[in-house]
Chain A
Amino acid sequence: MCLGVPGKVVAIDGLSATVDFFGVKRELRLDIVDEPVLVGDYVLNHVGFAIRRIPPGEAEETLALFDELLHGTRSPDDLMAADVRGEIAAGREKD
């Protein structure tokens, strides 16, 4: 359950927001989101209601979390860890 898709708020009219889902837009209700939402914020949609305001900078924070998880695994073999870091660095270069 819980098909939730993130989108960017482009307009607000009372409790109704127009949200851009990177290709299409839809109106969402803001009745149950627990923070004030402003134009430019990202929100998560579930059945036509915003259920979460996603704080700015979260993409970078999440990726940092993933990287921390990767580096945190105590590998007895340093070479292997280097391989993994190499993979991520290669991934970053493509961004």
Chain B
Amino acid sequence: MPAPDQSRELKFRDPARARALAEALRRTLDAVGRELTVMHVCGSHEQAIARFGLRTLIPQGLRLLMGPGCPVCVTDAPEVDLALSLAREGVHLCTYGDMLRLPGTSRSLSDAKAEGARVEVVYSVSQALELAERRPDEDVCFFASGFETTAVATAAAALGTPPKNFSVLSVHKYVPAAMEVVAAARERRIDGYLAAGHAAIITGFALFEPFAKRTKSPVAVAGFEPLDILAALLKVTELVRDQRPEVANVYPRCVTREGNGPAQRALWQVFLARGGRWRGLGEVPGGNLELTPAFAHLDARRRFGLPTSAGREEGREAEATGCLCGPIMLGLASPSDCPLFGKTCLPESPVGACMVSSEGQCRIWHTYGGPPDLREVG
């Protein structure tokens, strides 16, 4: 018998409600009368969908795609190379676990660590700060990866007057900028979007309203429990049925219209959004979060004189090998369309970034088996 506190969580995993929502989704889709394509832009959504087997529950006429929602996958090879060059110089590098195995142009931080570089996995930027306090004679650099939700934590660290030996190498990315790129890729029409619930906690959902209107596709802000995702899919399908390109907040327990004001202020005090290259996607205007001039003193790029122009060769290389990460991240192809998937591109020998990260669609599909038809088994 679960404790009262736990059962509140379990209620968002109630299979009976899930079946009810899936049934309602089926009926609503029938009312639309055609197949629909819905895209989400969050690795954690894909994880939840895959982990709970939701694609075997939702109607087959609803194609649920993943867009560029994996912050590790879209971190460019030259950006990893910058971190590697710091590690080579003897800087003590702190990174989130997800980034450890992402290959740069030829090596990953994991390779550097195996060769003796001081690369440490941390769960929180606070641990990197503590390390800098404990070792004042060492240069400690935090390799700041992740989307805007995670950038807020980095901002909080920057605003807390970190020690002089602490620096930040920011490769943070801004998702709404990528959604524009996806919408502009006209080869496939996206009928509706699921917005990432936790990013929306910070940004609020108002910022999706002009996007929905312009693209004529409704957006449902979704949480991460199975019921959250199913309810959001139902809502977005209803909005398509009723031809209402609006934003619906289906995660009201966490997301508000305006978002978390103090977090936003902290974010835009420390970071500014500038165009940059996302691995696989190419140029994303306003997609990269860089430290503002006021925080230049913390910027590892300046402190260590890192090159500002990064090589563009890697992108061309990936295309030459047949890697489909780019189209996959734009929702134009699925992992099983890629000739390398599961054959030469495997988690232990990844060709493209989508296979490296636990948030990458190819990695998730390979781990959870994609959407095979498992309904008739056993």
User: Is A–B contact present in the complex under a CB 8 A cutoff?
Assistant: yes
Whether A48 contacts B198 by the Cβ 8 Å rule is no
A48 CB, nearest partner CB in chain B, Å: 3
* Residues in chain B near residue A34, CB distance under 8 A: 260-263
Expressed in whole angstroms, the minimum distance between the Cβ of B98 and any Cβ of chain A is 9
Contact between B20 and A70 (Cβ–Cβ < 8 Å)? Answer: yes
- Contact mask A45-87 → B, CB, 8 Å, 1/0? 0111101101100110111011001101101000010011001
CA distance A39 to B173 in the complex (A): 34
Which of the residues B14, B27, B70 comes within 8 Å of A75, measured between beta carbons? B27
**CB-CB nearest in chain B for A22:** B6
Distance in angstroms between the alpha carbons of A95 and B9 in the assembled complex: 12
What separation, in Å, do the CA atoms of A70 and B238 have in the docked complex?
A: 11
Residues of A within 8 Å of B, CB-based: how many?
Answer: 43
A46 lies within 8 A of B126 (CB): no
Q: How many whole Å from B194's CB to the nearest CB in chain A?
A: 13
How far is A6 from B6 in the complex, measured between Cα atoms in Å? 11
- By a CB distance below 8 angstroms, the chain A residues around B359 are 1
Asked if A33 is at the interface (CB within 8 A of a chain B CB), the reply is yes
The answer to whether A51 touches B124, judged by C-beta atoms less than 8 angstroms apart, is no
The segment from B105-113, B150-158, B307-315, B362-370 found at the interface with A is B150-158
Q: Is the CB of A47 within 8 A of B96?
A: yes
Min CB gap B170→A, angstroms? 15
Binds A, one of B184-192, B248-256, B288-296: B248-256
Q: Chain B contacts of A91 at CB under 8 A? A: 14-17, 20
* A70 to B359 alpha-carbon distance, docked (Å): 31
- CB-nearest residue of chain A to B3: A22
Complex contacts, A4 vs chain B, CB 8 Å: 44, 149, 197-198, 201, 224, 254
**A90 interface residue per 8 A CB criterion:** yes
With A1-B71, A2-B42, A66-B227 given, is the CB distance from A32 to B152 under 8 Å?
A: yes
Chain B neighbourhood of A44, CB < 8 A? 198, 201, 254
Inter-chain contacts of A83 with B (CB < 8 A): 23
- Determine the chain A residues whose CB is within 8 A of the CB of B44 once the complex forms: 1-4
Question: B266 within 8 Å of A by Cβ?
Answer: yes
Q: Please name the residue on chain B nearest to A27 by beta carbon.
A: B126
Q: Which of A22, A59, A66 contacts B17 (CB 8 A)?
A: A66
Q: Which residues of the partner chain B approach A88 to less than 8 Å between Cβ atoms?
A: 16-17, 20
Indicate which residue in A51, A63, A73, A95 contacts B263 across the interface (CB closer than 8 Å).
A51
Q: Report 29 cross-chain contacts, Cβ distance below 8 Å, ordered by A residue.
A: A1-B70, A1-B147, A1-B150, A1-B175, A1-B359, A2-B44, A2-B150, A29-B124, A29-B156, A31-B266, A34-B262, A48-B125, A49-B124, A51-B202, A51-B263, A55-B253, A62-B228, A63-B11, A66-B17, A69-B231, A69-B238, A73-B28, A75-B27, A80-B23, A83-B23, A84-B20, A88-B20, A91-B17, A95-B11
Rank and list the top 5 A-B pairs by shortest CB-CB distance, nearest first.
A48-B124, A91-B16, A2-B198, A58-B253, A31-B156
